[in-house]
Amino acid sequence: FENMTDIYVDDFVIVDMSGMERMVDAIGGVEMCFEEDLVAPQAKLDIEAGCHTLDGETAVAFARARKGQGLGDGSDIGRIGRQQELLTNMVEQVLDRNILTQSGELYRFLQAATSSLTTGDEIGDLTAMAGLAYSLRDIEMADVNFGTVPFDWAGNRVRPNYLSDELWDSVRADEEMALPEDPEAEGEDEDEDDAADADGSGTEYDDTGAEG
């Protein structure tokens, strides 16, 4: 990441799927709405269309699933979009419940996650994490953004395109992220079959514990 972006990473938190499951359960589930049924047997995902409160196990199945009914073109890019939607709804629920300002709720939430976190040296302490979370207590949902690095298709894989330089420039300058509305809209046109067959090294579901 540092080599690609010239952005120094002074600390980090990696959440694996077990940690996500515990965090979702710690906030009482996460509200999600779906326009059609989602069925991905290998990921053990089976959700009817409509609005539901997903428990941790179901939320992780949704985050892992790549191919199946209601899951679009089956690409890793599509799965990343669904993962971002899930995380957005989790953040919104944390803010709506004022978890960041209630010390008891905040510590329960962090304790649910820390057993499955990989962290840098400074932020790994529970008290340090709680302090960081509390410092975000006044944040608004409008200030929370997820994005996908602008890319071009390269066969059944993707690669950053020239617009990614503008993104990293904006991050280095601590400005609003310079993201196109569609991360592939400005890239080179590739064969549609290559785009739809974005299998690459991906799997039908993500069993590595890492999020895209």
For the chain, which residues make up each domain, given as ranges?
12-146, 147-204
Whole-number pLDDT of residue 212? 39
Pinpoint the alpha helices (H) of the chain.
2-5, 17-26, 56-64, 76-96, 103-114, 126-135, 163-172, 192-196
pLDDT 10s digits, 146-205: 889 999 988 888 899 999 999 999 999 999 888 887 777 554 444 444 444 444 445 555
- Angstrom distance (rounded) from CA 122 to CA 138: 23
33 backbone dihedrals φ, ψ, rounded to 5°: -125, 135
Mean pLDDT, residues 109-128:
82
Give the contacts of 16 (CB within 8 A, at least 6 positions apart): 116, 117, 118, 209, 210
Mean pLDDT, residues 10-17:
85
- Angstrom distance (rounded) from CA 129 to CA 103: 12
Fold assignment, 12-146: Aminopeptidase (3.40.630)
